[in-house]
Amino acid sequence: MKKDFISGAEFPLSELKRIISAGIAYKQAALEGRYEALPDLSHKIVTLLFANPSLRTRLSFESGLKKMRAGVNIMNTGDSWQFEYQDGVVMDGGKQEHIKDAARVISQYTDVLGLRNSELITTAASQNSVSSYESLRADQPIRQLAKYATKSVINMESNMYHPCQALADMMTMVERFGVDGVQKKKYVLTWAPHPKALPLATPHSQFLMPAMFGMNVVVAHPEGFDLDPEVVALAKVEAEKSGGTLSFTQDQAEAFSGAEVVVAKSWASMRYFGRWDEEKTHRAKFTDWTVDAAKMQLTRNAYFMHCLPVRRNVVVTDEVLDSERSLIIQEAENRMWAQMGLVAYLLDTL
């Protein structure tokens, strides 16, 4: 049956726990040399479409799929026809193929599709990619692909969500606390400085999925860096369902107090969407939000996580990144194992 993984909230918590537990089991089996315990996806094909650069997403998917003996098609969308995502348009411009047709065709060649397409462009020279924040948040590429594909679709990062990153983050925390032990743990997502205005997808997913798992989630950010209100509303509903909490603060020290997990991530201020020079000026006011050892001392000996790539000594200091409580490498490794569990689930092989 077709099951699309777009925000992660499409799946009930029980199924997310199954996927993560499978990823942990596959990781342990491989560590012990029991490769026969991994799913055998021979004769299955997974097609991964990339409109953006990728290191961890591409390699973690490709490596994991090969461990399960699946065939992998990888394509940069720039090597194909330019897709039209809006329905009902007169296609007399530069776009040669409608996603309605492309999605159905690709579905004939594959068993699962993945798409990475983040349209947020934050340089003055290239603002025409998305005309407005409202257009951006509609997330048309991934949602239209899922609408028309006849096979399951995985969001490998869109404008609004990066659920595969959140799945790996949750697996990393479950390894430390247990699948039910993560509930009520104080989890802090903190904004951090960065020389660029970064997209919202990863931070959205990094507070949504922990809320789904019943963690006590605190999002700390400076004034003007509010996250999308619809995603916040969704996360609050999920937190209430799972017995967790979700709160926001502009006091980073208050957020760190008693934290058991700290995740750092930068994101742009959508208040200045399309006015990136102004956004940069506003962002530059908050260089003191860098995560350092003194701030980590406020926590309850918290683990530190970051999705990578990371600007060392801008987002977070070397001392924190290279400490014994840093999980950044395990977190990156778990992209592969968690995604193996996800693909096995989508193909009904768990």
| Exposed/middle/buried for residue 244 (C-beta within 10 Å: 0-12, 13-18, 19+) | buried
13-161+332-346 belongs to CATH 2.60.40.420: no
Extract the tokens encoding 196.
């660029």
Do 152 and 183 touch, CB atoms closer than 8 A?
A: no
Confirm whether 13-161+332-346 and 165-327 share one CATH topology: yes
Report residue 131's pLDDT band, with 50, 70 and 90 as the boundaries. confident
| pLDDT level of residue 326 (50, 70, 90 thresholds) | very high
Q: For residue 1, name the pLDDT band (cuts at 50, 70, 90).
A: confident
pLDDT tens for each residue of 197-222: 999 999 999 999 999 999 999 999 99
Tokens of 208: 């949504």
Question: pTM here?
Answer: 0.96
Locate tokens 């003007």: which residue?
224
One-letter amino acid identity for 70? A
Domain limits, the chain = 13-161+332-346, 165-327
Per CATH, is 165-327 categorized as 3.40.50.1370?
A: yes
pLDDT tens, residue by residue, 176-199? 999 999 999 999 999 999 999 999
Q: How confident is the model over 152-177, as a mean pLDDT?
A: 99
pLDDT tens digits for range 284-294: 999 999 999 99
